Amino acid sequence: MSEYLNALGERAKKASIILGTLSEEEKNKAIFQIAEDLKIFANEIITSNKFDVDNLIAGGKGLNMIDRLTLNEKRIEEMAEGAKQVTQLKDPVGEVVESFTRPNGLVISKVRVPLGVVGIIYESRPNVTVDAAMLCLKAGNAVILRGGSEAINSNKVLVNVIAKALEKSGLPKDSVQLIEQTDREIATQFMRLNKYVDVLIPRGGAGLIKAILENATIPVIETGTGNCHVYVDNEADLNIANDIVINAKTQRPSVCNAMETLLVDAEIAEEYLPVIAGKLMEKNVEIRGCNRTSEILGSSGIVLKNADETDWETEYNDLILAVKVISGVEEAIEHINKYGTRHSECIVSENKEKINIFQKKVDAACVYANASTRFTDGFEFGYGAEIGISNQKLHARGPMGLKELTTIKYIISGTGQIRG
């Protein structure tokens, strides 16, 4: 293990011990100071971010990736507002989950405590730097951040602003640290920094998640990949369906809760597909359809690319949509459970029985009826900024807020009891 990483880890561990004992007021004061300083140093942040954006443009990257990376005054204001909202959230640390007295008089309490040191590996979104830092701080955790190389200048200035604000507030500046070395070997070593890091949270695409799961020896909370579906049932209100499909695909296609596959019931496909295809194409969405979809749209003069097996498996993060005609809710469920990533799934229907079946049988963190998958978000759920969307089944699932950044400790009080 490199001396560089060991030094980061040692400093983070020391900071975490202090953070774990702080009052809610002390943590809120620091977070509020960070929010104010983000606005004060907005021009400096934007200037550093421009270096990263220009490098990305020079490398010929797509518009969606550039959008993820770009910071402007509005986005910095949103980051600052998100930080302030975290101060309004109830501090979970110290919460007594349950308490009981045993027959021998022992009082046993289950209490929420910080995880300790959290490691976060993420890709091109510098807003994650601030979101992750604020939530970890409020939950009493130190955090070591490893962002993508494409955002290194943005992340450096953001963490520098945060560190200075922490010092102003009397908190350890090492509570939030950035791995500034961007080579892959350092990233792999970080995944094995068990001596100091208590949990690792990846945020990014399927490739990043796979690499971490294969290499990490630190416990991992799996997040990120979102191959999300909307199923339009034959008993759907098609006006509602139109709004949901357009929003889920086009409102922000680069994020993990955007729809990637549209499933349409065969009974309404001939009526519905030409209508929704026209609306999608107005939004510059490329449609890749099954054979039946191609037949129906072809008769309307719409020529599209035929979907293959990889299209059902792909998280595009782009204005590309796979479309399949299926025969009812059970086939929709089967398709989703086969190809989905257990993130966010939706049924559009007026039939309560079908909705009930769909929501019970679909294996995902968030299962919607008659609402866009784009709502899978910590802010929209009322948690403030989120650390990520967990699509695993252990410890945390769905949008991860403050409580998901804590664990529990048993506090046992006695009067001299011994075990016989």
The one-letter amino acid at 311: D
One domain for residues 59 and 197: yes
- Average pLDDT score, the chain: 93
In degrees and rounded to multiples of 5, residue 91 shows phi and psi of -70, 120
pLDDT more than 70, % of the chain: 99
The one-letter amino acid at 27: K
Mean pLDDT lowest for which of 36-50, 214-228, 320-334? 214-228
Enclosing domain of residue 292: 228-375
Domains of the chain: total: 2
One domain for residues 56 and 168: yes
> What gap in Å lies between CA 303 and CA 379, rounded to an integer?
39
What does the pLDDT read at residue 397?
Answer: 85
List the Cα angle 63/367/253 in 5-degree steps. Answer: 5
Closest CA to 83 of 125, 37, 34: 34
One domain for residues 136 and 68: yes
**151 in a structural domain:** yes
pTM, two decimal places = 0.82
On the question of pLDDT at 114 being above 80, the answer is: yes
Over the Cα atoms of the chain, what is R_g? 24
Q: For residue 299, what is the domain's CATH number?
A: 3.40.309.10
One domain for residues 243 and 112: no
What does the pLDDT read at residue 222?
Answer: 80
What does the pLDDT read at residue 377?
Answer: 87
**89 in a structural domain:** yes
**381 in a structural domain:** no
- Side by side, the strands of the sheet bearing 96-101 are 96-101, 107-114, 406-413
> What gap in Å lies between CA 307 and CA 290, rounded to an integer?
5
One domain for residues 182 and 44: yes
pLDDT in tens, 315-357: 998 999 999 999 999 999 999 999 999 999 999 999 999 999 9
Please state, as a whole number, how many other Cβ atoms lie within 10 Å of the Cβ of residue 41. 19
One domain for residues 150 and 274: no
One domain for residues 327 and 402: no
Two tokens, residue 146: 């490893």
